[in-house]
């Protein structure tokens, strides 16, 4: 019997990150031996056991064979003859397919400092690549979401999804296999991704690989239709992580992709008369309808849907809260339940601030791009002295006007 620390614990050790959970693989053992050692089996047919003291998971080395559709359509073969390399081969990414041998079932100290790395995980950590282990990747549609989630977790560490792995994600999306994922499983991965340091790249890569078209066609269609809204919501989602927003706030930001018009949000600092503000509180019906449709498709907690709907209904008042009359402010407090608990209204106002900041961030990047794009080749070469600076400034202004 040989026991190995595997997966995320080894990966995070090599990345110098805190290790939250430890999983182990046991080679050369069987169910009865594990039970005799005091371990508790998880499920009748799945060879995973809980340590009697630490409750950490110990799995018998196993292989899997595709036998049906979806992420559950596998037949599992666990036997003392299954090698560590065979077990690691069924994993999703090379950085998750490394192992360290430990002393035994009841002594999880490393036997030595050797990293067992049959599929190049160490090189991919060095090269900052998220790469699939084998072609078995395409047998499990859940891996599309897992890769996207790891991308959101390690994006700011410099990791990118390998081109060949992204191609397989697209292949899986187009195969129809994603349709066999349950809403609860999709939401489990998506909600975890929303709380990562780069939640925006999760949704972006799902969109780029056509997975979003299969999983959330309404959202994919909204982004196909209005690129400004896509850019705004993704930029705001990135900012939501740096400002440590709660999950319901991040979900409301993503759902702002369904706003009636991109400029309605992008012009966050414009002035609106109280009459117009009050009228807009009852509009955005399509926006609200799409939020409800997303709720049916992904089954997020009702609190998140309620919060996103509140933002859609009261977006204009939130954007211009300081300009509202006393009666309108009181009305908004009643509509959002702030008289009982002010936290949701404060969180809604924060959502609006992040969207406004995203709009400013986009505008600044656009203006800087125009500034650097226009050089000496864009003006009259015969100009001299101060005329050159004035001409460059005017050319940059004219270029930016064309983009606004």
Tell me the per-residue pLDDT of 387-396, one tens digit each, with 9 for 90 and over: 999 999 999 9
Give residue 269's pLDDT band: very low, low, confident or very high (50, 70, 90): very low
Give residue 265's pLDDT band: very low, low, confident or very high (50, 70, 90): low
Q: Above 70 in pLDDT, residue 276?
A: no
Give residue 282's pLDDT band: very low, low, confident or very high (50, 70, 90): very low
Pairing type for strands 57-60 and 23-27 reads parallel
Q: Above 60 in pLDDT, residue 272?
A: no
pLDDT at 217: 96
**What percent helix, strand, coil does the chain show, rounded to 5?**
60, 10, 30
Q: Sheet of 2-6: strands edge to edge?
A: 40-42, 48-50, 57-60, 23-27, 2-6, 99-104, 107-110
pLDDT at 280: 46
Give residue 194's pLDDT band: very low, low, confident or very high (50, 70, 90): very high
Beta bridge partners of 116: 99
Q: Above 50 in pLDDT, residue 281?
A: no
Mean pLDDT of 338-343: 94
Which two structure tokens, joined as six digits, stand for 152?
């959101």
The model's pTM is 0.88
pLDDT at 64: 74
Q: Above 60 in pLDDT, residue 70?
A: no
Give residue 215's pLDDT band: very low, low, confident or very high (50, 70, 90): very high
Give residue 268's pLDDT band: very low, low, confident or very high (50, 70, 90): very low
Tell me the per-residue pLDDT of 285-320, one tens digit each, with 9 for 90 and over: 899 999 999 999 999 999 999 999 999 999 888 888
Tokens 């559950």 correspond to 72
Mean pLDDT of 114-138: 96
pLDDT at 5: 97
Domains of the chain: 2-127 (3.30.460.10), 132-215 (1.10.110.30), 226-362 (no CATH), 374-403 (no CATH)
DSSP summary character for residue 41: E
Q: Which of 303, 307, 195, 203 is nearest to 242 (CA)?
A: 195
Distance between alpha carbon 312 and the CA centroid of its chain, in Å?
Answer: 22
Mean pLDDT of 225-250: 96
Tell me what percent of the residues of the chain surpass a pLDDT of 70: 91
Give residue 254's pLDDT band: very low, low, confident or very high (50, 70, 90): very high
Q: Above 50 in pLDDT, residue 279?
A: no
pLDDT at 322: 87
Burial letters for 156-179: b for 16+ Cβ neighbours within 10 Å, e otherwise? eeebbbbeebbebbeebbeeebbe
Mean pLDDT of 162-182: 95
- Mean pLDDT (the chain) is 90
Give residue 85's pLDDT band: very low, low, confident or very high (50, 70, 90): very high
């Amino acid at each position: 019997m040989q026991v190995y620390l595997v997966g995320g614990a080894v990966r995070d050790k090599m990345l110098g990150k805190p290790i939250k959970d430890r999983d182990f693989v046991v080679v050369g053992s069987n169910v009865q031996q594990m039970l005799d050692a005091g371990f508790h089996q998880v499920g009748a047919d799945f060879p995973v056991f809980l340590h009697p003291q630490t409750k950490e998971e110990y799995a018998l080395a196993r292989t899997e064979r595709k036998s049906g559709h979806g992420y559950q359509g596998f037949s599992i073969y666990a036997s003392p003859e299954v090698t560590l390399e065979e077990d690691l081969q069924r994993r999703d990414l090379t950085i998750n397919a490394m192992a360290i041998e430990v002393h035994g079932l009841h002594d999880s100290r490393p036997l030595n400092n050797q990293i067992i790395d049959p599929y190049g995980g160490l090189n991919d950590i060095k090269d900052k690549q998220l790469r699939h282990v084998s072609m078995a990747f395409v047998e499990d549609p859940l891996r599309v979401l897992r890769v996207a989630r790891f991308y959101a977790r390690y994006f700011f560490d410099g990791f990118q999804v390998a081109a060949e792995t992204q191609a397989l994600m697209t292949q899986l999306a187009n195969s129809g296999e994603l349709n066999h994922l349950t809403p609860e499983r999709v939401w489990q991965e998506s909600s975890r991704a929303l709380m990562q340091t780069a939640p925006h790249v999760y949704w972006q890569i799902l969109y780029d690989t056509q997975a979003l078209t299969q999983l959330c066609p309404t959202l994919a269609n909204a982004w196909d239709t209005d690129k400004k809204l896509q850019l705004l919501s993704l930029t705001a989602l990135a900012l939501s992580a740096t400002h440590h927003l709660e999950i319901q706030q991040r979900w409301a930001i993503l759902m702002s992709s369904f706003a009636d018009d991109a400029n309605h949000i992008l012009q966050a600092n414009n002035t609106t008369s109280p009459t117009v503000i009050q009228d807009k509180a009852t509009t955005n019906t399509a926006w609200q309808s799409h939020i409800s449709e997303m709720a049916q498709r992904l089954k997020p907690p009702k609190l998140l849907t309620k919060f996103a709907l509140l933002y859609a209904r009261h977006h204009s008042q939130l954007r211009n809260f300081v300009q509202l009359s006393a009666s309108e402010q009181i009305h908004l407090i009643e509509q959002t339940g702030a008289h009982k608990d002010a936290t949701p209204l404060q969180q809604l106002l924060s959502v609006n601030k992040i969207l406004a900041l995203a709009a400013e961030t986009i505008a600044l990047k656009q203006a800087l791009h125009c500034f650097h794009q226009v050089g000496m080749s864009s003006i009259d070469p015969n100009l001299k002295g101060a005329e050159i600076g004035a001409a460059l400034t005017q050319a940059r202004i004219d270029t930016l006007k064309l983009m606004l």
